[in-house]
Amino acid sequence: MDFLLGTDDDDERSRRRGRSSSGRGRGRRRRRRRNRGGFLAPMLAVIILLGIIGGGGYYGYQWLNDVMVPDDFVGKGTGEIVVEVRQGASAAEIADLLEKQGIVASARAFTNAADAAGKSGSLQPGEYKMRKRMAAAEAVTLLDPSKRLLAKITIREGLRVSQILGELSKRTKIPVEEFEAAAKTLELPRAAKGKLEGYAFPATYEITPKTTPTEILSAMVDRYGAAAEQAGMQEAAKELRLTQHQLLTIASIVQAESGRASDMPKVAKVIYNRLAQKPPMRLQMDSTTMYGLNKYGIAASNADLASKSPYNTYQIDGLPPGPISNPGDHAIQAALNPADGDWLYFVTTDPKQGITKFTTNYDEFLRFKSEFEKNYQGG
């Protein structure tokens, strides 16, 4: 009975254990299902986050790329435009100018290209022919100083101002009247009395299409000032007991009368020797007389020699009132450093060959003069 009763009890406990065991199994299965759902959500979050980061990285890359690689056109551009780079403009300022005029796509592209070409510090003022919508690297090549729109005008030694103004007008296509008007506005030494003659230094000048007559002539006056300072004209004039204007006048006569640069110190010495005579000898230079009559030539006529011009050194004592030409470095140096000698006369006996002879003897001077007349008449 007990055994039988025990069996019944055991069966009942077994059933309860079975239910209990089955319930725990179902709980574990439910927990396993819940665990699978809990793992999926973080995975989805990670995937979404990675997508956001990836998308942000792409757009971030695009943003960095735009910053690091600025807008730039492709190719050599189209059309033609003249760009003026002003004195003292930096590479950044030039880049801004080119961007505003539609030549390059961005200022940064130009400065990067200039840096890459090593030309940021070598951009020079001037005018340049360029094109619209150019690649920045192409724009840099067109801003090379060798490609500036410049005209080189060489003014020869010994020209008169009237000849210089005519030459400048011819080369620039600007009416000579504008140069004549500009010459009256220049800042000149007081002794010049407003006359440019002698102060327009002969040299080679670079001009642009926008250079004005006043700017061109001012550059020539400035160049004379630099040459005079370098030569020490002011100090030399004091030592010679002359004014700088008088010294320049002597240099202009030397320039006009000399057949060769090597003769210039001797011609200068003849001038000084004549002025030093007691009483002073008149200079008797055909070049000064012809200048006063606004004539050209190497031999004044008898009528010319009788003229009442203040430049007629056959009729006046001492120097004429001002320069008769625009002397160069050689003539200025000769006036400052005349040769040693006692010559009182000289004659360019062969104008074609530029042969000049010097003497202290009047009779020999007359023979030189006959030699000149023979060569001159012979053509």
DSSP tag of 147 = G
Query: What's the whole-number mean pLDDT along residues 131-136?
Result: 96
pLDDT of residue 20 exceeding 50: no
Query: What's the whole-number mean pLDDT along residues 276-294?
Result: 96
Looking at residue 179, its pLDDT comes to: 98
Cβ-based neighbour number of residue 224 at 10 Å: 24
SS3 category, 345? strand
Question: Alpha-carbon distance 157 to 328, whole Å?
Answer: 5
Question: Alpha-carbon distance 364 to 361, whole Å?
Answer: 5
Looking at residue 220, its pLDDT comes to: 98
Find the largest Cα–Cα distance for the chain. 185
The lowest-confidence range among 15-24, 111-120, 315-324 is 15-24
Instruction: Write the CA distances from 238 to 21, 23, 230, 241, 247, integer angstroms.
Output: 131, 129, 16, 5, 10
Query: What's the whole-number mean pLDDT along residues 172-193?
Result: 96
CA-closest candidate to residue 288, choices 270, 262, 307, 260: 307
pLDDT of residue 2 exceeding 90: no
SS3 category, 195? coil
Alpha-helical segments (H) within 282-328 = 286-292, 302-305
Question: Alpha-carbon distance 308 to 190, whole Å?
Answer: 25
Query: What's the whole-number mean pLDDT along residues 173-200?
Result: 97
Looking at residue 53, its pLDDT comes to: 58
What per-residue string of b and e applies to 144-178 under the rule 16 or more CB within 10 Å gives b?
A: eeeebebeebebebbbbbeebbebbbeebebeeeb
Mean pLDDT of the chain: 87
Tokens representing residue 176 in the block:
């000579």
Q: Is 181:350 a contact under the CB 8 Å cutoff? A: no
Q: For residue 182, give every residue at least 6 positions away whose Cβ sits within 8 Å of its Cβ, in sequence order, or none.
A: 212, 213, 214, 216, 217
Looking at residue 317, its pLDDT comes to: 96
Q: Is 169:151 a contact under the CB 8 Å cutoff? A: no
pLDDT of residue 321 exceeding 90: yes
Looking at residue 55, its pLDDT comes to: 56
Instruction: Tell if the pTM clears 0.75, that is, is over it.
Output: no
pLDDT of residue 141 exceeding 80: yes
Question: Alpha-carbon distance 120 to 112, whole Å?
Answer: 9
What per-residue string of b and e applies to 86-109 under the rule 16 or more CB within 10 Å gives b?
A: eeebebeebbbbbbeeebbbbbbb
SS3 category, 277? coil
Burial grade of 367 (CB within 10 A; 0-12, 13-18, 19 or more): middle
Q: Rounded to an integer, what is the distance from CA 164 to the centroid of its chain?
A: 22
Looking at residue 71, its pLDDT comes to: 93
DSSP tag of 113 = H
pLDDT digit string (tens) for 191-211? 999 999 999 999 999 888 889
pLDDT digit string (tens) for 60-110? 555 555 557 899 999 999 999 999 999 899 999 999 999 999 999 999 999
Percent of the chain with pLDDT over 90: 71
| Domains identified in the chain and CATH numbers | 78-147 (3.30.1490.480), 151-230 (no CATH), 233-377 (no CATH)
Instruction: Write the CA distances from 191 to 2, 194, 199, 238, 240, integer angstroms.
Output: 156, 8, 11, 15, 17
Question: Alpha-carbon distance 179 to 165, whole Å?
Answer: 6
Looking at residue 162, its pLDDT comes to: 97
What pLDDT band is residue 4 in, cutting at 50, 70 and 90? very low
224 vs 45, higher pLDDT? 224
